[in-house]
Amino acid sequence: MELNWQEMLFTFFGGLGIFLFSIKFMGDGLQKSAGDKLRDILDRFTTNPFMGVLVGIVVTILIQSSSGTTVLVVGLVSAGFMNLRQAIGVIMGANIGTTVTAFIIGFDVGAYALPIMAAGAFAIFFFKNARIHNIGEVIFGFGGLFLGLELMGEGMKPLREVQAFTDLTVEMSTNPILGVVAGTLFTILVQSSSATIGILQQLYSENLVTLDAALPILFGDNIGTTITAILASLGASIVARRAAAVHVLFNIVGTIIFLLILPLFETYVLWLSGVLGLEAKMQIAFAHGSFNVANTIIQFPLIGLWAYLVTKVIPGEELSIEYKPKHLDENFIEQSPSIAIGQAKEEILRMGGMSVQGLELSYNYLKNRNKRDAELTLQIEEALNNLDHKITDYLVKISSQSLSAQDSTRHNMLMNTVRDIERIGDHFENIIELIQYQDAHKLHLTEDAMQDVSEMFELTIDTVTKAMKALDENSAELAREVAEQENTIDKMERKFRKNHIARLNEGRCTGQAGVMFVDILSNLERIGDHSVNIAEAVLGKRV
């Protein structure tokens, strides 16, 4: 029988496309249904590596992507929300959580794929309620997943007639390394272990591969899924590269261990399928789950060793932005509100230092276009938002206590100051976005314009620094200097706007570039306003 290769390839890759889309669509729906609080879950419950494993399982089930969980973890480690040891636990849990997709596929409901998709589409298009809409996305994605599998299965069936494919599967049965390589390369190509495991389940159910050939491919799929973390870590922070390295190390070590005991593991899978009466797809699902659970149990005691090893292999100090407050002890609120106010002031000073750091990084980004500076600046802005909420909540709790007149004044001043610092973060975030807009649209600032912006940037950084120092030292003298410098910033803005109009009239500057230039000046001027607010609070009442 002559094979219709075009029909085979179109059916297989069309099914693969539907499968990948459905996995993502279902994951997005699950994530939105659960509420966009995954980072809070990771932050709150990853107190130790064991809890990290449990949270990694739950979050990966919610978003249907171990790679997505790893990306979240990298961001949290960079932000100082968790250390590398806790992150390794979450990565291990993510590997277990991703096996749920294989179990879902094991329930062969392909005949009902289309009505399931219809039900999901009905919920999406005919209900305005956001929750029902999100559930509809999950249902539609669930049905699409099986439709994609059915199409891939149809595309692969004729492979039985291809002698070269038969020879390859026989070779993989006798040479497990070849199976591992095949699984790794295919997952790297598709960038979804769920998809490649689904394809493997389909091949095995169609008797196109034997179990002793399927298991090494399965191990390789687990190695291949680390490519997403590797790609995400390229050019990223040191801690991101360390997390990606642990992900690779964990799966390679697990694969080596299970290749050494492959006959024993194959016997276990056959025994389990006999005891539980498992269908072919479920056999692969249980093999996948058993591999990842056992791998986690085996390597869990080695978390400290892996953290030490990747730190040695990828050396260097990483700038860590700590989102969490350090000084807000709620025990002081009832025991001594006055001390609690002092603690809030210490946290606000730390927040102020971060705002200066964010300004300096945004200035560096303007000069050098180093993407890492932009990333760190945006992380700092997010940290300032978080600290704003935490400090404000802390101060609100203090306000419920009986305060002296002096403490009440200090309290009100700090409530206003924390908001001014948070607004400084908003403005340097705006500046980063303006610079990125400039690069995206290839806008050119003249040398004179760059000199004007640099002069105003440097004075603004100095003004914010002095405002924070005035707050720290209760210095009226520094506060007055801040007020004077803010006045100079205002004059600078008016002067540099006039310079811009002159350049525009002379044809040396474009309108679009000019708008961006004026917006940067405006943001710097507003930062100066917030600095003087802090200084005036110091002048109004020493704290």
User: How much is the pLDDT for 523?
Assistant: 92
Q: Averaged over 454-469, what is the pLDDT?
A: 92
Q: Return the percentage of the chain with pLDDT > 90, whole number.
A: 12
User: Which residue from 249, 230, 234, 225 is spatially nearest to 306, judged by alpha carbons?
Assistant: 249
User: Which residue from 243, 214, 226 is spatially nearest to 95, judged by alpha carbons?
Assistant: 226
CA–CA dist 541, 391 (Å, integer): 20
Per-position DSSP letters for 100-169, written without gaps between them: HHHHHHHS--GGGHHHHHHHHHHHHHH---HHHHHHHHHHHHHHHHHHHHHHHHHHHGGGGG-HHHHHHH
Give the residue with greater pLDDT, 6 vs 363: 363
CA–CA dist 459, 449 (Å, integer): 16
User: How much is the pLDDT for 170?
Assistant: 59
By the 10 Å C-beta count (0-12 exposed, 13-18 middle, 19+ buried), 537 is classed as: buried
- Does residue 71 surpass a pLDDT of 60? yes
**For the whole model, what pTM was predicted?**
0.62
- Does residue 537 surpass a pLDDT of 70? yes
Query: How many other CB atoms are there within 10 angstroms of residue 104's CB atom?
Result: 17
Q: Which residue has the tokens 């979240």?
A: 72
Give pLDDT tens digits for 515-534: 888 899 999 999 999 999 99
* Helix, strand, coil share of the chain (percent; to 5): 85, 0, 15
CA–CA dist 138, 26 (Å, integer): 4
By the 10 Å C-beta count (0-12 exposed, 13-18 middle, 19+ buried), 132 is classed as: middle
Q: Averaged over 141-149, what is the pLDDT?
A: 78
Give the residue with greater pLDDT, 481 vs 72: 481
Give pLDDT tens digits for 344-375: 888 899 999 999 999 999 999 988 888 878 88
Instruction: Give ∠ CA 86-92-94 in degrees, rounded to 5.
Output: 105
Q: Quick check: 291 and 253 in contact, CB under 8 A?
A: no
Mean pLDDT (the chain) is 80
Sign of CA dihedral 353, 354, 357, 359: negative
CA–CA dist 136, 5 (Å, integer): 36
- Does residue 498 surpass a pLDDT of 70? yes
Find the range with the poorest average confidence among 112-121, 327-336, 395-404: 327-336
Q: Averaged over 417-426, what is the pLDDT?
A: 91
155: its two tokens = 């595309």
Find the range with the poorest average confidence among 19-23, 56-60, 156-160, 252-256: 156-160
User: Which residue from 532, 524, 530 is spatially nearest to 430, judged by alpha carbons?
Assistant: 524
49: its two tokens = 């590596």
Q: Averaged over 419-437, what is the pLDDT?
A: 90
User: Which residue from 69, 1, 83, 84 is spatially nearest to 38, judged by alpha carbons?
Assistant: 69
Torsion angle in degrees (nearest 10) through CA of 458, 464, 466, 470: 180
Angle separating helix axes 49-63 and 5-34, nearest 10 degrees: 120
Give the residue with greater pLDDT, 300 vs 2: 300
CA–CA dist 375, 464 (Å, integer): 21
User: Which residue from 278, 284, 281, 254 is spatially nearest to 266, judged by alpha carbons?
Assistant: 284
Give the residue with greater pLDDT, 127 vs 355: 355
Helix or strand run (H / E) with residue 258:
helix 238-260
Instruction: Give ∠ CA 293-298-299 in degrees, rounded to 5.
Output: 100
Confidence band, pLDDT 50/70/90 cuts, at residue 285:
confident
Helix (H, G, I), strand (E, B) or coil at 191: coil
User: How much is the pLDDT for 543?
Assistant: 41
User: How much is the pLDDT for 530?
Assistant: 92
221: its two tokens = 């799929």
